[in-house]
Amino acid sequence: MNMNVLVFNCGSSSIKYKLYSMPEGRELASGSVEKVGETGSRAKQKSAAGEIVFEEAVPDHSAGLAVIRRMLTDSSKGAIRDVAEIHACGHRVVHGGDQYSDSVLIDGSVLDGIRECNDLAPLHNPPNLTGIRAAMELKEGMPQVACFDTAFHQTLPEKAYLYALPYELYEKYKVRRYGFHGTSHRYVAAKAAETLGVATAQVNLITCHLGNGCSMAAIHAGHCVDTSMGLTPLEGLVMGTRCGDIDPAILFYLGRKGYSVDDLDTMLNRKSGLLGISGISNDNRSLCEQAAAGDRRASLALDIFAYRIRKYIGSYLAVLNGCHAIVMTGGIGENSSETRETILSNLDSLGVHFDAERNRALGRVAGEISTANSPVKILVVPTDEEVAIARDTYRIVSTGA
């Protein structure tokens, strides 16, 4: 069955989308609408027919979807003639709680389930819901599928997902580790298994999704058994503006110094990480340039970033007790050979033999950056969350499973 699937990733003030021809996964168009509900709204789209740019007021997500519809069906540079040629929509949804271990066809109960997770992801789930409702207006009766960032991590055992807090907090409020970037971890794990010639159900991997947001996963026999992000995306690695793991008593200390809950929330999520340490930027590329020019704090930020990842690699090697490969993905993992080298050098005693020449020669393409005889391989695998969502949507709509 041939099907055109439109994939959405909706934020509070943006809509990103891609249109695919399925089942082959051929991209027909990609675009975005930025600054929804703000001044200076801008929409753009690329397809085989060319590029479209609109600069006009986009007061809400419904208006954004109307602009997307115009761009997709543009008579000279569009990708389709009519919205009727779109057969289904797939949506990235950040938090599915512990209700969803797979992507699902959206109905009223699923909308309620996503809404129930709003408290767990207040910056993400509400705009995800808004985008779903707006997409429902594109074509009456068009199937909508939700793909959850948390779903892949639902195979974590209790010893990995429970915090050492009073158990009643889990029973009453579902306080536990959920993990995120699950669609990316699942996609690159399958690609890595294919590259290694190992069945997905037998592969053991450490996957590193490194971008402005960063997370890692320990994958045993194809199933996630541990991950670095927790109840929220704040836990774990140092990120662009997020602090990652810290002593929780720091919050009590700062609270007594006069910081409010909102102050602390903003600090830890938006003013920490690479930005907080460097005082310059949350962008890895900029910090690499500044560090090369001699900026001490830029260099320190990159060292702390890499050090935290190395610690997690060591702990996950212990968890897995046998690992086929470490997989690097995401904007930094795929593109920054300098950062990969800082992270992966001098791990030989752990069976990870890094090849600096291969790494530098690889550039920005997929490939292996370990030595030929390394017991644990190191792979660079570009992620593609959108095509993974399109595949899930196609599977569910075409087969009902």
Annotated catalytic residue 303: no
CA neighbor of 345 nearest in space, from 319, 373, 309: 309
Residues across the chain: 401
C-alpha pair distances (Å), 320 with each of 53, 186, 310, 346, 347: 48, 17, 15, 20, 16
Q: Is the peptide bond before 375 cis (omega within 30 degrees of 0)?
A: no
CB atoms within 10 A of CB 21: 15
Buried b (16+ CB within 10 A) or exposed e, 234-261: bbbbbbbbbbbeeeeeebeeeeeeeeee
Which candidate in 60, 119, 149, 355 is catalytic? 149
Q: Which two tokens stand for residue 143?
A: 């199937």
DSSP structural state of residue 258: T
What residues contact 318, with CB distance under 8 A and at least 6 apart?
none
CA nearest to 138, candidates 41, 235, 69, 51:
69
Which of 310, 241, 300 has its CA nearest to residue 290? 300
Give buried/exposed letters for 163-186 (b at 16+ CB in 10 A, else e). Answer: eeeeeeebeeebbbbbbbbbbbbb
Q: Which residues are catalytic?
A: 149
